Amino acid sequence: GAGVSQSPSNKVTEKGKDVELRCDPISGHTALYWYRQSLGQGLEFLIYFQGNSAPDKSGLPSDRFSAERTGGSVSTLTIQRTQQEDSAVYLCASSQTRSEQYFGPGTRLTVT
Amino acid sequence: EDQVTQSPEALRLQEGESSSLNCSYTVSGLRGLFWYRQDPGKGPEFLFTLYSAGEEKEKERLKATLTKKESFLHITAPKPEDSATYLCAVQHAGGTSYGKLTFGQGTILTVHP
């Protein structure tokens, strides 16, 4: 079956602009996670969705970051007023509740 | 706070030369330990989940084992296509963790023909 998909695959933006990153999870997966992977930091948790609710937002680095999920499916991660330190690969994963997570290919964000 | 440390940071092997990767963890209540493989420019690919000390799982040339403090990923007679970064992650058993994974920094494995 289809895996997790993310778009765009690459995004180059100017400092101060807003960006939206999209994740389409595996059909039927109720849990959705966003992670960030940057050099020297490894993979860091950002936010977790169960259905359309986000009970754990503890990893969001600042109030410039927000995310939503609609219809228990697609999720969008929004970064406002991007900064150079936001440059990273943003990964989305989905799972059946707390079982193994399946990752998408990621969106590489470069802030110039 | 959950912590995961992987060693070595990088490992270079000759084809056929077996070895092990280590993942040491500190977590107040382990629900599961996960191994992933990541190729350059791609997302992590799920390999194994281990839930309790003494558990072992195998897949082709890979075998993962778990103790109360660490996990090993044994690679038997590796091939060049096994070259990748191997990531270890823990999942907390606590009710407020909601299943998020805490990852180690990874081991970069290179297998030379």
Which residues of chain B make contact with A59, given a CB cutoff of 8 A? 100
Tell me what pLDDT residue A42 has.
86
| C-alpha distances in Å from residue B62, one per residue of A13, B42, B77, B81 | 41, 20, 9, 13
pLDDT band at B96 (very low <50, low <70, confident <90, very high): low
Cβ–Cβ below 8 Å for B36 and A4: no
Q: Is residue B33 less than 8 Å (CB to CB) from chain A?
A: no
Tell me what pLDDT residue A16 has.
98
Tell me what pLDDT residue A17 has.
98
Q: Is residue A39 less than 8 Å (CB to CB) from chain B?
A: no
Q: Is residue A59 less than 8 Å (CB to CB) from chain B?
A: yes
> What's the mean pLDDT in B15-32?
95
Q: Is residue B85 less than 8 Å (CB to CB) from chain A?
A: no
Contact present, B41 and B16 (Cβ < 8 Å) = no
Q: Is residue A26 less than 8 Å (CB to CB) from chain B?
A: no
> What's the mean pLDDT in B78-104?
89
Cα gap A79→A57, rounded to integer Å: 14
CA atoms within 13 A on the CB side of A26: 17
- The pLDDT tens digits of the residues spanning B7-20 come to 999 999 999 999 99
Q: Which of A44, A59, A105 sits opposite B42 (nearest CB)?
A: A105
Cβ–Cβ below 8 Å for A91 and B104: no
Tell me what pLDDT residue B95 has.
65
